[in-house]
């Protein structure tokens, strides 16, 4: 396949940025989207030009590092698929593809397609540990956990912290991400002890980072590569209200 790419290039956070057009030549259908960008970058480096900066790590859909808005959709619009797992067979020879970074005030652009997601780390730090004495490692079956709770906690734990939910939301809300993290810990007996403190602190950190409010458009759930359900937002709102009442 031969493709035309319109790629967002931005030197740093202060540069206004602009789209540049590139040709991607001899792209194989079995390549991933990031491998296609590697091919383009090799050509750019060969010509002595600056390669396109983009984030990736595992390239297996598990780390949440890749962060591309492809043709206007976070992760490219294939259901339950990260940008690194998106394959070129979903495109056609001659296509023009637009590639942009996540766009949200709380995710400033570092360079080209790379954004700074340290705001997510701050939210995790605000609530993501257990301070009770846990003792040695218990046997796996020493703490009975009802199966529905275990399954729901594991559903929430699938969140890879990519930030696509923020990028897709017109309010740049991080509610789906925070709700997944709050539920993943709060549903299990080990994490229940500090459930109230955790939800209050994580929501506070989310607000301080400048993320917008949720108006339940569902765009986050639609782009989430791990199909985290909007139900977790409702669950977090309940947990938050209960924690506030208890504190009063
Ligand atoms: S909720 Fe989904 S879209 Fe949001 S950070 Fe987690 S995995 Fe990514
Ligand atoms: S690079 Fe790890 S999820 Fe895409």
More confident residue, 208 or 193: 208
Q: Which residues contact 66 (CB under 8 A, 6 or more apart)?
A: 34, 54, 55, 56, 57, 59, 75, 82, 83, 84, 162
The per-residue pLDDT for range 23-36, each reduced to its tens digit, is 999 999 999 999 99
What's the pLDDT at 191? 86
Tokens of 143: 């703490």
What's the pLDDT at 24? 98
The rounded Å distance from CA 81 to ligand 2 centre is: 10
To test ligand 2's pocket by mutation, which of 32, 38, 55, 59 has the most ligand atoms within 8 angstroms of CB? 59
Give per-residue burial for 231-243: e unless 16+ CB within 10 Å, then b.
Answer: ebbebbeebbeeb
**In the structure, which protein residues have their CB atom closer than 6 angstroms to any atom of ligand 1?**
64, 159-165, 176-177, 180, 224-226, 228
The per-residue pLDDT for range 92-145, each reduced to its tens digit, is 999 999 999 999 999 999 999 999 999 999 999 998 666 667 677 777 778 889
171 three-state secondary structure:
coil
The rounded Å distance from CA 62 to ligand 2 centre is: 6
Nearest CA to ligand 1 atom 2: 224
In terms of DSSP bridges, do strands 3-9 and 96-101 run parallel, antiparallel, or are they unpaired?
parallel
CB 9 within 8 A of CB 52: yes
- ∠ CA 226-229-234, nearest 5°, is 145
The rounded Å distance from CA 34 to ligand 2 centre is: 10
**In the structure, which protein residues have their CB atom closer than 6 angstroms to any atom of ligand 2?**
56-59, 61-66, 82, 84, 160
Give the ligand whose atoms come closest to the C-alpha of residue 226: 1
83 three-state secondary structure:
helix
What's the pLDDT at 134? 67
């Amino acid at each position: 396949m031969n493709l035309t790419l319109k790629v967002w290039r931005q030197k740093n956070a202060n540069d206004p940025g602009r789209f540049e057009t590139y040709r991607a030549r001899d792209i194989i259908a079995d390549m991933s989207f990031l491998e296609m960008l590697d091919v383009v970058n090799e050509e750019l480096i060969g010509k002595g030009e600056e390669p396109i900066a983009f984030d990736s790590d595992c390239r297996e859909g598990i780390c949440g590092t890749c962060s591309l808005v492809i043709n206007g959709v976070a992760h490219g619009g294939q259901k339950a698929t990260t940008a690194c797992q998106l394959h070129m067979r979903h495109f056609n020879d001659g296509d023009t593809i637009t590639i942009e970074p996540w766009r949200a005030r709380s995710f400033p652009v570092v360079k080209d397609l790379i954004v700074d997601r340290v705001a997510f780390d701050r939210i995790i730090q605000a609530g993501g540990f257990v301070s009770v004495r846990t003792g040695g490692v218990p046997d796996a079956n020493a703490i009975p956990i009802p199966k529905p709770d275990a399954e729901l906690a594991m559903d929430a734990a699938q969140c890879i912290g990519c930030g696509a939910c923020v990028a897709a939301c017109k309010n740049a809300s991080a509610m789906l991400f925070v709700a997944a993290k709050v539920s993943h810990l709060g549903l299990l007996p080990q994490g229940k002890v500090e459930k109230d403190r955790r939800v209050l602190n994580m929501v506070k950190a989310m607000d301080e980072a400048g993320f917008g409010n949720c108006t339940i458009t569902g765009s986050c759930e639609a782009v989430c590569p791990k199909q985290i359900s909007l139900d977790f937002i409702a669950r977090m709102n309940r947990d938050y209200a209960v924690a506030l009442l208890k504190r009063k």
